[in-house]
Amino acid sequence: MSLPSIKLSDGHEIPQVGLGLWQVKDAAAFNAAFKAAIDAGYRHFDSAQFYDNEDLLGAAVQQMGLNREELFITSKVKLPNFGEKRTASSVDGSLAKLQTSYIDLMLLHFPVTVLRRKSWRALEDAKAAGKIRSIGVSNYTIKHLEEMKTYAREMPVVNQVELHVFLQQLELLDYCREHGIVVEAYSPLAHGKRMQDKVITAMAERHGKSYAQIMLRWAIENSLVVLPKSITPERIQQNIDIFDFELYPEELQEITKLNCNLRTCWDPNHVP
């Protein structure tokens, strides 16, 4: 199965579904999930320095003998590595752990006060050196993106944020669309919270799909990149099996009403 991709403003393309790798640190569980994902058609893998599994991803790619050019690998600079020299060094460290000569997408994991400017400069330099193909940010608000206009030589092509049917972030989404920034939705299933909503349940029954598949399909129809995380082969398969149906216009309108600002992760809105 060939997954749809979204074109980034720098000309590269990003597969619209990726496997989130947060908390997957056990080698056996990681390898089983990775193989299940490859077999299901995933080619986009979302790691981070903070996840402490870049080495597992690099080893899994090598063990399966996969063509690097067919994969899309993301990593993120963790907070202790912010600062121009530390970020630059950490990119080299990520390359070594991932056993690759380039990273498809490197993000700043959080808008760390003061140091985010210097770290962004380091990513721009690493991209110019060919170590990274695309650069972006994670957990940035409109305020942080607006500030970037004052110091960035190039703006991020991606903003990865918590986003799901119960946290739709409509203002941020509109801003990113207007500025050519692709939004990636992490925790698109809200960490399993509110999984008994009657509106979503009815849609799942109507379409013969799971509750999670309805949530993910909503994100796809809003032109988001989704990063569902699972180590269960059956769920890994289900989370990518969302391209054989569409939600009805009235269903999309119903889902809009479910927005209730439910955050299951950190909130960057209060970061200056």
Distance CA 90, CA 70 (A): 24
User: For residues 90 and 49, is the Cβ–Cβ distance under 8 A?
Assistant: yes
Distance CA 251, CA 253 (A): 5
DSSP E strands, 151-231: 158-162, 182-186, 225-227
Phi then psi dihedrals of residue 70, to 5 deg: -85, -10
Catalytic residues: 51
Closest CA to 209 of 241, 168, 173, 169: 241
Distance CA 207, CA 186 (A): 24
Closest CA to 111 of 79, 150, 146, 154: 79
Numbers of helices and strands, H then E, in the chain = 10, 10
- The string of DSSP codes covering 26-56 is -HHHHHHHHHHHHHHT--EEE--GGGT-HHH
Distance CA 100, CA 95 (A): 6
Closest CA to 155 of 108, 110, 114, 92: 108
